[in-house]
Structures are given as structure tokens and as C-alpha cells.
Copies of this chain bind each other. A is one copy, B any other.
Amino acid sequence: MRATVMYEAGDVRVEDVPDATISEPTDALLRVTRACICGSDLWPYKTMEPDEAGARMGHEFIGVIEDVGSEVTDFERGDVVVAPFFYSDGTCDFCGDGLHTSCYQGGIWGREGVDGGQGEAVRVPHADGTLVKLPVEVDDALMPSLLTLSDVFATGHHAAVSARVGEGDTVAVVGDGAVGLCGVIAAKRLGAEQIIILGRHADRTDLAQEFGATDVVPERGREATERVRELTGGQGAHRVLECVGLEAAFDTALRIARPGGAIGRVGVPQFDHLPGAGLGFFNNVTISGGVAPARAYIPELLPEVLEGRFEPGRVLDTEVGLDDVPDGYRQMDERESIKVLVKP
């Protein structure tokens, strides 16, 4: 079958790989009908050291079940399903806590003999624990929004939940990528009154405003801090969603947080130490969040997406076929596209 493999920074190829097959009785075999390129795929796209074996790519996908192992009980051939970006058994203590990303048997797509989502098919480990059935046809118009449940909408939601967004809050969203934009939707959904998006790309911040952002701050660093303070009566934002993953973004998040407030961080950290140990301490700012347990959130978010209450799929502003995935990476890297949908 054909699938996406990355060999080093800037070198992404679509090539023949071994066919996905059932190998464990808890597996399902999925034909991928929609996938994405993720902002987090851009980190290796910028920095990956050469690796002759290559890395299979893609962790956000929807597909149709082709076959299931003997122990899979919840799915059958023909089911349309969405996969969260982390597979999990659904039965361990952590899955029980709704923290599927810490599942003992869980893992990330594309590693350790597991297929990536940017390809024709995927072997899904622990299918019963991992997948969620979608009550729609395979080409439903809602597909882009449903696809965001696999990662970016669930991740934006995790940022908002982790920052404890509630009714009437002032929320600042650091980052105008797909996750930040979904964070705006999530913050509004949870009752935020004022939503400040920090971002410099007008097409994205325009979309943020359509999603519910009330203010746009294109400044960075100290100027951004001052601007957010102005917009919040000098106090800062109750809740800050850090949707970038760079040290400077975290630093800004900390500086614009209201004393007693909270940061929900979902940008995969590209740094080792969190700045501002003292500032956060004296301001009693809570730092929460992390890798989003998308699987836990899908049952809550899915019905509302099906009702069309939100359109997170609008962040998928570009569509490519499988052979054009490398160009999709380029478009995202050069910010021609917010996020790329792949239709194998």
C-alpha cells in the first residue's frame, strides 16, 4: 500500500510500504478515507535528523473498517470510524480516568510497527478501546469537522478544560494555528465572555473572530503582554490556552495570566524548562494541560459536531490527495495553509 514516510527534515515521501494487516485479535484493519497533516508534524519536518528507516507519519484519520480481529466486539466491516491521535485499550486505570494518553498499552500512530494515518490503510491496535463509530456516510459533508475530533478540536478543548474555562471568563489564546483556533471554539463553548486571540496571520485571526474571538492581539512579547493587560482592566486573562509549544509562547502565556488564573498548555513543548518559576509562584498561576486525551472527549464533542453547532473543520483550508502530501507539508510549513486535509 502507499503511505507517507519522513526521512529527515524537509524530506517527506509517499511510497510503497507493507500492507496493513490484522496481527493481534484486538486489531482492526481500517481503510483511511480522510487524514490530516498536523502542526506537530512540522516539528520533525523542520528538525528531523536523517533516518534511513524513515518515520511513518500521520495520527489523525477517519476510515472504514475492512476487517476486525477475533476479539473485537464493537466494530464490524463497513463501520465508519474516527481514530484519536493516540491508541489505547480503554480498560486500564488511566483509560478509566479519562487519561487515555497514559494507557499502559497505548501509543502514537506511526511508531513501533504501527501504521501512520497518512496512508491508504492502518492496523488499529486495541480497536474497541481506540475507535469511535461515526453515524454518517463516508463522504458526509461534516467530514472535516469530524476529522478534527481526532486531534485539533479535542486538543483545543483539552486546553480550555485544563485552564478551567468557565462561564463569564476572560480567555487568551496564544497561537493562531489550527489548535489555537479550535481553542477559541472550545472556550466559547465553555462560556467564555471575552476571548483574546494572540496571532499575527490575518486570515487565521479573522477565522478566530468568526469562531468567537472578541479581540485580536498581533503583537508579541512584552508588547503583547501590555496589550492583553489593557484589554483586561490591567489584570490579565483568567484562563490562557498555550497552543504553540515554544518557550516564548509559554512565557507570554504566564505573563498575561491573571493572578490566580490558569494556563492550559497543549503546544508540544520544544524546550526543556518552563520559564517563570518565580512569577508563576507569586501570582499563583496554575499550569495544566499536556497531551490531550482525545478519546475521552470524543463522546462529549461528537453529538455537537453532528448537530453542526461548531465548525472546527473550517481550519482544514486545503485538501490534497495522498500523492500530494509532501506538498501539503510544504504549504503548512510556509503558512500557505492553516491545516491540510488528505483524501487518500
Contact = CB atoms under 8 A, between A and B. Distances in A.
Interface of A: 93-94, 97, 99, 101-102, 162, 235, 250, 259-260, 262, 265, 268-269, 271-278, 280-291, 293
A269 B273 contact: no
Contact of A284 (B259, B284, B286, B291): B291
Contacts of A281: 265, 268-269, 289-291
A99 B290 contact: no
Contact of A275 (B93, B272, B285, B291): B272
A268 B97 CA distance: 32
Contacts of A291: 281-282, 284
Contacts of A289: 281, 284, 286
B277 A271 contact: yes
A99 B269 contact: no
A284 B101 contact: yes
| Oligomer: number of copies | 2
Contacts of A102: 259-260, 283-284
30 contacts: A93-B235, A99-B259, A99-B284, A102-B259, A102-B283, A102-B284, A162-B284, A250-B277, A265-B281, A269-B277, A269-B278, A269-B281, A272-B277, A273-B273, A273-B277, A274-B274, A274-B280, A280-B287, A280-B290, A281-B290, A283-B290, A284-B288, A284-B289, A284-B290, A284-B293, A285-B290, A286-B286, A286-B287, A286-B288, A287-B287
A164 to B, nearest CB: 10
A97 B236 CA distance: 14
A275 B273 contact: yes
A97 B262 CA distance: 14
Interface centre among A99, A272, A273, A277 (most CB of B within 10 A): A277
Contacts of A271: 277
B287 A288 contact: yes
A254 to B, nearest CB: 10
Nearest to A280: B290
A93 B170 CA distance: 15
A107 to B, nearest CB: 12
Contacts of A276: 272-273
Contact of A277 (B260, B274, B286): B274
Interface centre among A94, A235, A286 (most CB of B within 10 A): A286
A271 B276 CA distance: 9
Contacts of A94: 259-260
A294 to B, nearest CB: 12
A99 B272 contact: no
A275 B272 CA distance: 7
A42 B250 CA distance: 31
